């Protein structure tokens, strides 16, 4: 039975949503999401409403700068108020230094926000005392300088000449001409503007004369973060409201409930001291637990996106590894088969051309045997001609009588005997050579026989055209045999080279096809994973993650 195609699958609505399962437009979807998110935001807003009147003067940039500059984070409004009240005990010089440092941190916050609003990618340093630079703007390091006078700016360039500066237009105008191209002026960093924001915030904090249990700092910092994310287009208004509500509700409600439970337990153990201690510990544990719970809700969509992305990556990795293992196995089998076929073909080529070599060798050896058999007859013919030549020569020579040439030979008698002896020795030489060739005809190579005959001919005993013709014929057969052997070797070499080339091309084609298939699989995996990765990035940006 064939499975149904994916396009025909239908997911039934949850029973609780059955009434809303009919087709709806974007406005209905937006309203449904709003009804889901608004209660949490409304609770936080209603709970925080009495504070808005008191906190109208508090600027989030200043609060964020205070939180960033301290070693310990500001957990609630009481912490913030204690910090501001602690400045009253400072001497004028110490307070001026504290205010100046705070102005620098506020300037960093405002500069980062202004540059981000202009479309730059801004990343702040992780620590307040980061050496050399405060912001990374599109990957380039910058130091933010505010206040009065340019002395601190000149000191920075003396120490870090390669790190540019972001400052107010007034201070930038006072710098030397050679430094003008190393400065970014921002009107938002005007000294009067910064000090006004800081002073208003400090006065607003001092103006609150009652304790606040609702996490106002959480609300301010969370609201400021969500405002920036919303401005960048990473999230929408309803998501921002939901996140703010969760932050405030998680910290405030958890702290309130935890404080009441802790106070009750502490009162039961030791009324008075136990009540205060239990309330403090319970509020701390409750606030942290509530924030952890609401954070898990806020990050649920992000975690689901990461899990879906990771599952897709793992599945893609598994498919790629299986495909790669299959490809390696198929290539190993192909190479083994091609090598076996190549060896068989090489043996066949060698066998075919070895036969040609054997035929050429056999033909030459046959010619050598024929030559060895023909040479004795030719030598015998030379011997007969030598006998005839001897008779003719001796008949023409003068000779004394028998008695005279026997006992007192004359000079011409001595010449006669020397010529006769010479012919006799030549005949014996021809006879011995013919007998030797008859005995060795089956074992003597053609080259050795030719060498002997050539030595005989070189002595020029007597012209023998038949013998010379036999030698020339055998030499021609030898040349032809060598040429046939060389041709057979050349053909075998070329055919073997061609066989190797064809085998290599076959393997290359198979490997190219396999790699192309792997590339297509990788492209398909990337197309499948890309939307999931984009979803992770979008969900992460909603939470302020720099992915």
In DSSP notation, 481-546 reads HHHHHHHHHHHHHHHHHHHHHHHHHHHHHHHHHHHHHHHHHHHHHHHHHHHHHHHHHHHHHHTT--
Task: Give pLDDT, residue 433.
Answer: 74
pTM: 0.39
Q: What is the mean pLDDT of residues 247-264?
A: 54
- Residue 129 belongs to a domain: yes
105/88 same-domain check: yes
42/77 same-domain check: no
220/130 same-domain check: no
- Residue 283 belongs to a domain: yes
What confidence tens digit (pLDDT) does each residue in 282-339 have? 555 655 655 565 666 666 777 788 888 899 889 988 999 999 999 999 999 999 999 9
Q: Check residues 102 and 52 and name the one with the higher pLDDT.
A: 102
Task: With a cut of 50, say whether residue 212 has pLDDT above it.
Answer: no
pLDDT-derived band at 423 (thresholds 50, 70, 90) equals: confident
Task: Give pLDDT, residue 421.
Answer: 86
Task: With a cut of 80, say whether residue 92 has pLDDT above it.
Answer: yes
> Last residue of a domain, which of 207, 235, 254?
207
pLDDT-derived band at 85 (thresholds 50, 70, 90) equals: confident
Parent domain of 72: 57-207
- Residue 306 belongs to a domain: no
Query: Alpha-carbon torsion 75, 78, 82, 83, what sign?
Result: positive
- Residue 128 belongs to a domain: yes
Q: In angstroms, what CA-CA distances link 444 with 41, 435, 447, 480?
A: 117, 13, 8, 20
104/43 same-domain check: no
- Burial string for 300-312 (b: 16+ CB within 10 Å, else e) reads ebbeebbeebeeb
Q: In angstroms, what CA-CA distances link 90 with 74, 84, 107?
A: 20, 11, 23
248/380 same-domain check: no
What confidence tens digit (pLDDT) does each residue in 24-40 have? 444 443 443 333 333 33
Task: Give pLDDT, residue 162.
Answer: 93
> Last residue of a domain, which of 298, 313, 335?
298
- Residue 313 belongs to a domain: no
Task: Give pLDDT, residue 72.
Answer: 56
Q: What is the mean pLDDT of residues 83-94?
A: 86
Task: With a cut of 50, say whether residue 481 has pLDDT above it.
Answer: yes
198/218 same-domain check: no
Token pair in block for residue 199 = 């002073």
Rounded Cα–Cα distance for residues 111 and 150 (Å): 18
With tokens 């004369």, the residue in question is 209
Sheet holding 140-144, edge to edge: 122-124, 135-137, 140-144, 164-167, 183-185
144/254 same-domain check: no
275/411 same-domain check: no
- Residue 507 belongs to a domain: yes
Domain count, the chain: 3
Q: With contact defined as beta carbons under 8 Å apart, do 297 and 247 qualify?
A: no
Q: What is the mean pLDDT of residues 475-488?
A: 82
Task: Give pLDDT, residue 499.
Answer: 92
The least confident of 116-130, 343-357, 471-485, 533-547 is 533-547
Q: In angstroms, what CA-CA distances link 445 with 133, 170, 364, 370, 448?
A: 97, 113, 10, 11, 5
Range of 13-22, 188-197, 434-443 with top mean pLDDT = 188-197
């Amino acid at each position: 039975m064939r499975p149904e195609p994916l396009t025909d699958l239908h997911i039934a609505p949850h029973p609780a949503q059955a009434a809303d399962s009919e087709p709806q437009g974007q406005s209905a979807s937006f309203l449904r999401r709003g009804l889901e998110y608004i209660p949490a935001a409304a609770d936080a807003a209603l709970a925080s409403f009495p504070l808005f009147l008191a906190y109208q003067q508090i600027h989030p940039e200043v609060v964020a700068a205070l939180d960033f500059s301290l070693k310990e984070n500001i957990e609630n409004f009481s912490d913030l108020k204690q910090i501001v009240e602690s400045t009253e005990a400072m001497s004028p010089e110490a307070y001026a230094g504290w205010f100046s440092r705070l102005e620098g941190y506020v300037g960093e916050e405002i500069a980062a926000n202004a540059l981000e609003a202009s479309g730059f990618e801004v990343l702040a340093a992780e620590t307040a005392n980061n050496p050399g630079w405060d912001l990374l703007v599109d990957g380039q390091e910058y130091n933010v300088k505010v206040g009065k006078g340019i002395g601190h700016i000149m000191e920075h360039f003396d120490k870090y000449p390669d790190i540019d500066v972001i400052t107010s237009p007034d201070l930038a105008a006072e710098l030397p001409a050679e430094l003008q191209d190393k400065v970014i002026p921002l009107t938002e960093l005007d000294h009067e503007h910064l000090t006004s924001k800081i002073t208003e915030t400090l006065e607003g904090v001092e103006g609150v004369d009652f304790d606040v249990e609702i996490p106002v700092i959480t609300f301010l910092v969370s609201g400021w973060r969500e405002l920036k994310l919303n401005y960048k287009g990473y999230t929408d208004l309803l998501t921002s409201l939901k996140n703010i509500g969760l932050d405030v509700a998680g910290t405030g409600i958890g702290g309130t409930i935890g404080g009441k439970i802790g106070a009750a337990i502490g009162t039961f153990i030791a009324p008075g001291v136990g009540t205060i201690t239990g309330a403090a510990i319970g509020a701390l544990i409750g606030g942290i637990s509530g924030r952890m719970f609401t954070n898990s809700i806020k990050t649920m969509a992000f975690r689901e996106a990461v899990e879906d992305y990771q599952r897709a990556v793992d599945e893609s990795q598994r498919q790629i590894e299986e495909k790669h293992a299959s490809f390696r196995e198929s290539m190993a089998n192909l190479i083994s088969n091609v090598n076996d076929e190549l060896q068989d073909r090489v043996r066949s080529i060698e066998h075919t051309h070895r036969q040609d070599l054997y035929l050429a060798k056999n033909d030459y050896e046959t010619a050598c045997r024929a030559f060895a058999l023909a040479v004795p007859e030719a030598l015998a013919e030379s011997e007969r001609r030598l006998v005839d030549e001897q008779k003719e020569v001796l008949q023409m020579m003068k000779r004394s009588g028998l008695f005279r040439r026997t006992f007192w030979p004359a000079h011409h008698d001595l010449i006669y005997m020397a010529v006769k002896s010479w012919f006799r020795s030549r005949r014996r030489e021809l006879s011995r050579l013919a007998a030797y060739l008859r005995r060795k005809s089956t074992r003597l190579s053609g080259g050795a026989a030719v060498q002997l005959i050539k030595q005989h001919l070189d002595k020029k005993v007597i012209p023998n055209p038949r013998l010379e013709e036999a030698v020339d014929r055998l030499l021609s057969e030898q040349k032809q045999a060598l040429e046939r052997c060389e041709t057979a070797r050349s053909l075998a070499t070329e055919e073997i080279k061609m066989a190797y080339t064809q085998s290599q091309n076959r393997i290359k084609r198979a490997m190219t096809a396999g790699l192309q298939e792997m590339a297509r699989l990788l492209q398909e995996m990337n197309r499948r994973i890309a939307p999931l990765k984009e979803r992770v990035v979008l969900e992460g940006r909603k939470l302020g993650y720099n992915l």
